[in-house]
């Protein structure tokens, strides 16, 4: 495995992305502590994201609103605007790509780039060019922090060192010095469980972690991820493995006044249709459906096999069967706070074989044809004008297109 002798990677992380986009789009919010929340007019939820002004006062992401208000009484609560964040992401990406090619989009607010020889010589100049272009063409309220290092993992850690709006360069010649004082919490891939496992193994700090062997970390992680982390922290050029699509799904926190079983069932239909649309656009079929429900002190989930399908009728038929089971097993008057649906056991459309025992040639293909016609009409008009059964978006909107750090919504997600 190759060990670079120069910085080869740039990692960029936008500062308080969702809140800063709100501030850039809405001048009245600039300079004020802002917390983005799922719903308007309720304090029984959490702050999804907060601005740098709010963070300086002690507010944190995923903090209950009541607690955040105690810490910062002047906190301005703003309901989420996922389509605005999607459009901002695309605009920012376009500006960065005009300065340096984007190698990989890691999330809606993070990306990485490979450095050419000219870029390696003057990383601070390159960071300045990117920041200046964003200020000039997008606005000054959306800032970013940038890290440079030998590989992606180290560059990602470096970009967190000087937030907000900072630049950190870790040349291979100074490593591993900058890592030694860091807590495990600053290392992507080391969560609470893994931290406990490391402590049980006698590995209490970064120096001890770096002094291990690759095989030792592989054993502690139980897979090759630990070994890859060892090589990454030691400056080797570790290539990320291509991910495989395993599921399509959507979840939803229900507004306080809409937490009955009937409301949850209605909204689950909409979420499932949106997941099925994504399934079809990506060229997959599914053969298992999962429904999960979260109450205050309990959870319920159920799943069922499906014929190899992707049309709305087959998906919704399976969902109704799961709801029949849920109604039988849930306590009376259950209050469902959060729920979701997931399509699993995927197979590429090109690999699908027709099922003669299910009359696939007739009934199934008819529903697939009708679903394809609906998709074309909805795409033509850019909104849902045809649906199978009622189409009742929950209050607050954005079902299927809500805030997501890991998936970049598409325009179709908001139909």
What is the pTM (predicted TM-score) of this model? Answer: 0.82
Using one digit for the tens of pLDDT, what is the confidence trace for 346-366?
999 877 665 555 555 677 788
Task: Tell me the C-alpha distance between 301 and 295, whole Å.
Answer: 11
Sketch out the chain's domains with CATH numbers. 10-170 (3.40.1170.60), 176-243 (1.10.150.20), 248-414 (3.30.1490.100)
Q: Per residue in 244-259, pLDDT tens?
A: 788 999 988 888 888 9
Residues 8, 110, 227, 368: which is the catalytic one? 110
Residue 92 pLDDT > 90: yes
How far is residue 352's CA from residue 75's CA, in Å, rounded to a whole number? Answer: 53
* Catalytic site includes residue 132: no
Q: Does residue 411 surpass a pLDDT of 80?
A: no
Over residues 142-177, the pLDDT tens digits come to: 999 999 999 999 999 999 999 999 999 999 999 999
């Amino acid at each position: 495995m190759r060990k670079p002798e120069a910085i080869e990677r740039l990692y960029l992380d936008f500062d308080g992305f969702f809140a800063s986009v709100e501030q850039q789009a809405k001048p009245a919010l600039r300079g004020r502590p802002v917390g983005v929340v799922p719903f308007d007019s309720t304090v029984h939820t959490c702050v999804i994201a907060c601005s740098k002004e709010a963070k300086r006062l002690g507010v944190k992401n995923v903090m209950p609103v009541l607690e955040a208000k105690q810490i910062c009484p002047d906190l301005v609560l703003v309901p989420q605007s996922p389509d605005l964040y999607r459009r901002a992401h695309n605009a920012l990406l376009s500006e960065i790509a005009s300065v340096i090619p984007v190698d990989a989009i890691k999330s809606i607010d993070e990306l990485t780039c490979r450095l050419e020889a000219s870029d390696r010589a003057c990383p601070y100049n390159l960071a300045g060019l990117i920041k200046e272009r964003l200020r000039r063409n997008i606005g000054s309220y959306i800032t970013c922090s940038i890290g440079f290092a030998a590989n992606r993992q180290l560059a990602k850690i470096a970009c967190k060192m000087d937030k907000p709006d900072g630049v950190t360069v870790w040349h291979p010649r100074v490593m591993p010095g900058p890592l030694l004082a860091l807590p495990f919490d600053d290392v992507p891939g080391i969560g609470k469980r893994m931290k406990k496992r490391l402590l049980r193994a006698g590995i209490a700090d970064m120096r001890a972690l770096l002094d291990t062997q690759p095989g030792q970390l592989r054993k502690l992680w139980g897979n090759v991820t630990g070994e890859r982390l060892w090589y990454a922290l030691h400056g080797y050029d570790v290539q990320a493995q291509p991910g495989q699509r395993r599921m399509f799904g959507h979840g939803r926190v229900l507004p306080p006044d809409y937490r009955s079983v009937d409301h949850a069932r209605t909204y689950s239909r909409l979420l499932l249709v949106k997941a099925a649309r994504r399934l079809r656009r990506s060229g997959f079929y599914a053969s298992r459906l999962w429904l999960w429900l979260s109450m205050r002190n309990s959870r319920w989930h159920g799943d069922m096999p499906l014929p190899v399908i992707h049309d709305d009728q087959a998906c919704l038929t399976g969902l109704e069967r799961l709801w029949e089971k849920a109604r039988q097993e849930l306590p009376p008057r259950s209050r469902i706070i959060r729920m979701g649906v997931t399509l699993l056991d995927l197979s590429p459309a090109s690999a699908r074989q027709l099922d003669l025992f299910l009359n696939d040639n007739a009934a199934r293909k008819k529903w697939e044809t009708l679903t394809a016609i609906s998709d074309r009409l909805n795409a033509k008009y850019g909104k849902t004008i045809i649906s199978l059964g009622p189409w009742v978006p929950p209050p607050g909107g954005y079902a299927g297109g809500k805030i997501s750090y890991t998936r970049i919504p598409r325009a179709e997600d908001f139909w």
